[in-house]
Structures are given as C-alpha cells and as structure tokens.
Amino acid sequence: MSTIDDLKEAFAGESQANRRYLAYAEKAETEGFPGVAKLLRAVAAAETVHALNHLKAIGAVGGTVANLTEAMAGEKYEFTEMYPPMLAGAEAEGHKKGARSMRFALEVEKVHYDLFGKALEAVAAGKDLGDVTVHVCPVCGHTVIGPVEGPCPVCGCRPDLYDDIA
C-alpha cells in the first residue's frame, strides 16, 4: 500500500468521523447534554482539519474549474449509477427508511449537478455567482440559490425551515 492509498483511506475515515460526530452531537443536544454536544462538534471540526489536510496532501484540490468538473462527475455518478441499485435493493428489502433516504439523495444529487453546472459556466466565463443566498432543506438536502419558493419539491418540507448557508 502506498502513502497515497493511506491518505485516501485516512481521508475517508476522517470524513466519516466528522459526519458521525455531528449526528452524535445532535442527539446529545436533544437528550439534554449541551456540553457533550459541544465537545462532539469540536472534535468533528478537528476531523475536518485532518480530512482536508489529507486531501491536500494527495493533491486532490485543483482549480475551481477542475473542482467543479470533478464535483459534477461525482454527483452524476451518484444519481445515475450509485443510488438507483441501492434504492432498488432497499425497496426490495422493505427497508422504508433506507429507501426514503436514498430516494431523497438521488433526487437532490441531480439538483446539485445542475447547480454546479451553472457555477462552472460562470467561472469559465470569468465570473462568480455573485452575492448569493443558498438554502438547504434540512430533511432531504434540496439546495436552492436565492429565495425558496414553496415547499421542497423533493420531500415537501416547508420553505421557512430551509437553512441559510453563509
């Protein structure tokens, strides 16, 4: 195994730890343990530092055009190849929560692909997206640039519940 392979494995592990610890922090918060939640969020942030350091050491962060192109390829893979058989499997097993989660992700990855495409067009033309407001549905991850018009088209979440991303 090479150092690059080790860095890729470490990146994956640190990235997953970050997400797990954030989920654990949410749970601790709802159970009345705000101090534990704060610790879990802090360690999650540290895991992000580790993951980003590994990604940079691999040389996997390019220019914005290259990064958006790669992001689009990843999103397209998810909604065309990865999620369809996973969703079918979850439905065949009768795993309703798993199927719902995968269906939401599959649909939202299409939106992400389109948003990255618009960003890529702007950057390729030497422009930015400007001073935009981006909103994310807290239920399914549907992402909107600008105002949220009506309920979420993927999960039906109320527009006032979307999170503003700075």
- Residue 1 banded pLDDT, cuts 50, 70, 90: confident
> Residue 135 forms beta bridges with which residues?
144, 164
| Statement to judge: residues 121 and 67 lie in one domain | yes
Instruction: Evaluate if residue 166 carries a pLDDT over 80.
Output: no
| Statement to judge: residues 125 and 136 lie in one domain | no
DSSP state of 146: S
Alpha helices, H only, the chain: 3-30, 34-58, 64-77, 83-93, 96-124
| Statement to judge: residues 112 and 150 lie in one domain | no
Q: Provide CB contacts within 8 A for 31, sequence distance 6+.
A: none
pLDDT confidence of residue 138: 96
| Statement to judge: residues 69 and 123 lie in one domain | yes
Q: Within 13 Å of residue 72, how many CA atoms lie on the same side as its CB?
A: 14
Read off the tokens for 6. Answer: 């080790």
Mean pLDDT computed over every residue of the chain: 96
Sheet with 134-136, side-by-side order of all strands: 143-145, 134-136, 163-165
CA 10, CA 152: separation in Å to the nearest integer? 35
| Statement to judge: residues 74 and 109 lie in one domain | yes
Task: For residue range 21-32, list pLDDT tens digits in order.
Answer: 999 999 999 999
| Statement to judge: residues 43 and 79 lie in one domain | no
Domain that holds residue 151: 131-166
Instruction: Evaluate if residue 136 carries a pLDDT over 90.
Output: yes
Task: For residue range 37-58, list pLDDT tens digits in order.
Answer: 999 999 999 999 999 999 999 9
| Statement to judge: residues 119 and 150 lie in one domain | no
| Statement to judge: residues 77 and 21 lie in one domain | no
| Statement to judge: residues 117 and 143 lie in one domain | no
| Statement to judge: residues 66 and 52 lie in one domain | no
- 105 and 80 in contact (C-beta within 8 Å)? no
In percent, how much of the chain has pLDDT > 90? 97
- 96 and 102 in contact (C-beta within 8 Å)? no
CATH number of the domain encompassing residue 142: 2.20.28.10
Q: Calculate mean pLDDT across residues 79-106.
A: 98
CATH number of the domain encompassing residue 21: 1.20.1260.10
- 22 and 40 in contact (C-beta within 8 Å)? yes
Q: Calculate mean pLDDT across residues 59-72.
A: 96
- 154 and 102 in contact (C-beta within 8 Å)? no
Q: What's the pTM? A: 0.89
pLDDT confidence of residue 37: 97
| Statement to judge: residues 46 and 16 lie in one domain | yes
DSSP state of 79: I
| Statement to judge: residues 104 and 146 lie in one domain | no
In percent, how much of the chain has pLDDT > 70? 99
Read off the tokens for 132. Answer: 């935009």
- 11 and 47 in contact (C-beta within 8 Å)? no
Task: For residue range 99-133, list pLDDT tens digits in order.
Answer: 999 999 999 999 999 999 999 999 999 999 999 99
Instruction: Evaluate if residue 67 carries a pLDDT over 90.
Output: yes
The count of domains in the chain is: 3
